[in-house]
Structures are given as C-alpha cells and as structure tokens.
Structure 1
Amino acid sequence: MAWVSAHRGEFALGDDALAEHANVNFTWKPLGELAQICVSIRRHTETTDPLHEAACDLLAFAWRQTGEGALFHELQRLEPFATYPLEIYAAFASAGLRHTDYERATATVARTRGWQVTEQEPNRRLSVLNSERRSGLPLHADMDRALGRTWLGGLPEPWTFERAAGYTLTHVVFHLTDWGLTPLGVPSRVADYLHQWLPPWLDTCLEDEQWDLSCELLAVAGSLPGPPDLTMLREAWERLALAQDASGAVPEVGSGRDGHPPAHDFVGCYHSTLMTAFAAALTLDRLRAHEADAATAEDAHTDRGANGNAGAADDDGSVPTAKVRVFEHAARATRAARPGPGGQGVSR
C-alpha cells in the first residue's frame, strides 16, 4: 500500500476519461480497482491500523477523481447501457459514497428489457448483479442461476484449470461474497470443490511465477467459509514474498527479486500489487477470526474440564510456528504508509 500511495497520481483520470474512443482499461479500470481494494481493506482492518488509514485516504482520492460521482452521471448519459460505470460505482456505494442523480438515471435504465438481456460473459453477469445489490437496485436476474452458467459453477474437471479459467473463477467468488465480506455466499458444493482443488492450482501458478493470479487465488482462499488451510497459506506467502521488491511492488508475472530484476512500470505491477494487499488483508482477517474461534473453543473445553486445547496453541501455550509465519508474510505484504503532508503517501 505504500507503493500504491506513492503512485496514486498514475491512477488519476485524465482528460480522455469521457472520450468516445478512450480505452477504459487504462482510465476507469485502474481507478475502479483501486477503489474496490481500498474498500475491502477498510472492511478488514481496525480503524487504528495505519493500513486502514492509508486505504481511507486513497479511497477519498479515488472518489474525488470521479467528481464525487458526477462523472458517473455523465458516463451514464453518454453510454446508457454500458455496465462498467455501475460496476465501478458500486464499490464507492458500498462505502457510503453515493450520487443521487446517477443512481436515479441508472435505475431507470436497469428496468428496461435491453439492460436485462444484455449479452455478457457469465462471470460478468454476476458482477453486474452484485453491483446492483451493492447499489440498492433490484437484481434483474437470479444469482444462483447466473452462477450455474460459469466455469466454476459447473464444477469442471480440475485438470481443465488454466489461466483464463483461473481469473474467471476468482471473480465469481468475489462477486458471490461481495469481495470477501460474506463467505457464506459461496454455496457449499462450490466451497467444498475449491477447498479440495485450490491448493494444487495455487501451487501451479506460483511455480509458473503467475504472481497476479496467485494473489487472486489467495484472496479466494480468504473468502471461503471454513477454517483456513494453514500449510497452503504459509507456503504460498513464503514464495510470493520473493517476488515483492523493496518498494512493495509485485510484478504480474515472472520477474521478482529472486534472481530477476523487478518490474517497476506502473502497468506491469499496479494490479498485482493491489491484489497482494487485498489477499494479505483477507488472510490476516481470516487468521485472526480462526484464532478467536479456536480460543473460544478452548475456553469451552476448559469450562467443561477438558484437557485438549482445540488446536489453538502448541503444548507450551504458544501459537504454532506455521501460523506465525503466515501472519508475518501477509503483514509484510500489506505494509502501509501513513499519509504525509498534503495527503500523499510516504514511500518506503
């Protein structure tokens, strides 16, 4: 997050943000991803955490870039049936940042048959449905039926996993759980499937130095119901740490400090760096929750006169080494800077 703060200017919307032939992948998409990750990190960190402060500062920056929502209203006028403005706006809306005129105009369009039958990739349909839910609009279709049309929803043969399927399945989970907020949004059959096959898929991606996709898969692991897989997390974070350079940046693929020169260009590492922070925040939050559940179970056993400790600590009362190492690697990945003068992040 320190790297993200130091590069916030490169997330800014330029004069071409509303241009007819502008590439939204280099204007709105990075800003929307910044907003979403900051919203998620705010949710999963304490208000006293410097990381929470950094996320709030960057989210406020992103909202100002949209004219506090006014540019969404203009986008809706220019492209009334485009879904990407709502998908980006929904992140802000979920944080309480709203624009009444945009919501009114979008609600009108969302009631049309044209909006409801727009042809989209199945995982994109889930994105729109979740965006409607987050923005307070009626869902135009059923989430379960939309899930059934996705690659993940079909519980495919695990050996058919490849890069494109990986990115598709991660976003299906993000939309089902509202970006890790509600793990129980993943149906049990899908959760069981992911608990079984996520470890080998993640191992494959790490071996191939697909750092960006590996971070997304780690975020999926932090979004699933049930106890975390401590062995998988420990090994994954140890390997991912080798790709992060001293500034905090993580390249999307390949090069890292483990025998390779780091990738410093913004386009080549902004998304993977954001996803590292997102995955680490989810990992830490799940581990804390797991520790709390284990402590509660141990107290219950103690109250009943049981001798067991519910697996929360070693025989000497200490936290298991594996868990400590997961905490350490995830915490390093989210190292944040307190905002400096003028609200700018302090680089490390």
Structure 2
Amino acid sequence: MHKVSGFFLCFICLPLLSFFSSNPGYSQEIAPDKVKTIFGIVPKVAENPSNPVTPEKVNLGRYLFFEPRLSKSSKISCNSCHSLANSGVDGLPTSIGHKWQIGPRNAPTVLNAALEFTQFWDGRAKDVEEQAMGPMLNPKEMASTKELVVQRLKSIPQYVEMFKKAFPDETDPVSFENAAKAIAAFERTLITPSRFDRYMDGDLSALSPEEKEGLKTFIQTGCISCHNGTGIGGGMFQKFGLVHKVSWLQDLGRFEVTNNPADKYVFKVPSLRNVAKTAPYFNNGHTWSLEEAVKTMGYVQLGKNLTDEEVKKIVSFLGSLSAEPPLQVTLPNLPPSTPQTPKPMP
C-alpha cells in the first residue's frame, strides 16, 4: 500500500490505533500477534526473483561493496557512505563525494534497504539493483563511467573469475549491470532482526517495561500510520510537513523526479530499523537528536505536541529496533590491480 501524499492509515493499523486513541490509560501489554499484523517479521534475505540471491553473487557483491576502484578516484566505495561498521551510514548530515563535493541529501542506512518499496529519498530507483548503479555514475559521488568500471574489473583476473561464478550462464559476465546486481544481492542479505522481532515472535521478555510503554505510545500517537510493515517504514511516500511546515526544508523531494506539483516536499518514509544508531536525521541531516526528531515528527506530521515523557517512551521503543545480534560482515581481501588496470583519476 503506497500513497504519494495525504494522511494514510493502513486498514491493518486502524484497530489498534483506534483502540489506544480511545483508551490512553490502557496498561496491559499488547499481544505480540496483534503487533505482528502491523509490522510482520523480517525475512532472512530480501529476495528478488529477477536477481536471485546466490552465494557466488553475494560474495562478489561483498567485494564490490568495499571496492574503491569502482570510483573515478579509486578512493570511494559503497561503504564510504554506507559504512557497515557504523550501522550502514556515514554519520554526516550529507555525504562527501568526488573532489570533496557535498551531496544534497543525507545517506540512508543500507541495512534493510532492500525491504523498502523504492530507493533514494525521492524514490527515483525502483530497487537496490537500480540504486546501486546511481552512485557509481553520479559526478558528485563516485564520478565513474560504465566503461571505466568494466575496464577496471576486467583488468583484474580474480574479479573475472568471480563474475563467471556469479553469472555462469553469460558469455561475457563482467558488465556494469552485473556489478550492480552483485552489489544488490549482497545488500539483500543485510537484514537485521532486533529484539522487537523476538517480541513479536512471542518472547515477552525481549522488551523492557519502558520499551513496551513506548510501543503503545508509538501506536497511540499514530506513528504507525506511516511507519509500518517489515521495515517499520520504507513502504510509502509522504509529504513532509503534512500538518505544519518546517522553516528549514528547502528540498522539493519527489517533485524533482515527477515535476508534479502534488509531489512537492514528498519523500519516501524512512525505515526506523537501527534508527537509534543512524543520526543525523531527516533528508538533510537537520538534527542529531532522536528525541528532537520524534518531537518534530509528532508536530509536523500528526499535529501533536508530544510531551517529554511521551518522547522518552517512543525513543526507548525505537532503541529496541537496533540489530541484535549486531551485523557481522567479513571484510574482503581485495585483489591487487594489474598493469592494465586504469590508474586513479583526479
């Protein structure tokens, strides 16, 4: 269920939201199976039938995710802006790219990104396969070309062999498109279950009493109107400033893709998984405080002035969405360049 703008409530969310809105003092725990109808349990892998996830493809994608030679300067990799050691983000308001250029938007976490219905803040890529192509060619990011990417990969024998194993049915498997498919296949394994998933699976001890109160507040406040599904967000577009506008928002959002006036200030709703570890927040990294972000969202999206106690409870719940156990990815030992490998370019 996706919506470009306007207030949205999924029909699954309505019963719980209506109940808690009319019973604000309700103190019993929410049954995990009721919560599961809103969010569901994350899969182990975010599969894509048009790009099957195979061990060989994932292994190649793991190498390429950390491979700076995909960039013109041979200094920037996917991991530069989506650091797997830092919950899939770079920790900057907006990212630094080729020749120290500053990008216009905050880099979302790559963790669980494959669960989302579209990619980038403005939804200009339909999936992670398409998204993986964008940064390599963007002059402000990796500033490469399809030809340069292929030339460098074909000049390294180990990569040629890895592409053959990852795409065994192709006569010339080393291609820009296959490089993106391999990176995407790897990203489709970067799924991070949390304590909240254990709670939905029936483990009532997985959340603390304060986190359970935060979950109820999250539902009662109406956050689930946009932040639902397995990604706890990432399943729809929404206008930022639905009820009240913020003075600092200059980005026109999806309008830059569609040129539809109705899409001004419309963005993809971000996933809240790992949100406690992915500051700063909003499309331009406007705030470093999760408490401030929650309070802002309550006001501009729902028209509610959340109390400090309500914010504290919601933030406590959001902490339960962090990866547990923490994501573990083995760093690849990248193969050396050869005399035929194009040199780094300024």
TM-score, L = length of structure 1: 0.22
Bigger relative contact order, structure 1 or 2, given CA contacts below 8 A and separation 6+? 2
Higher helix share: 1
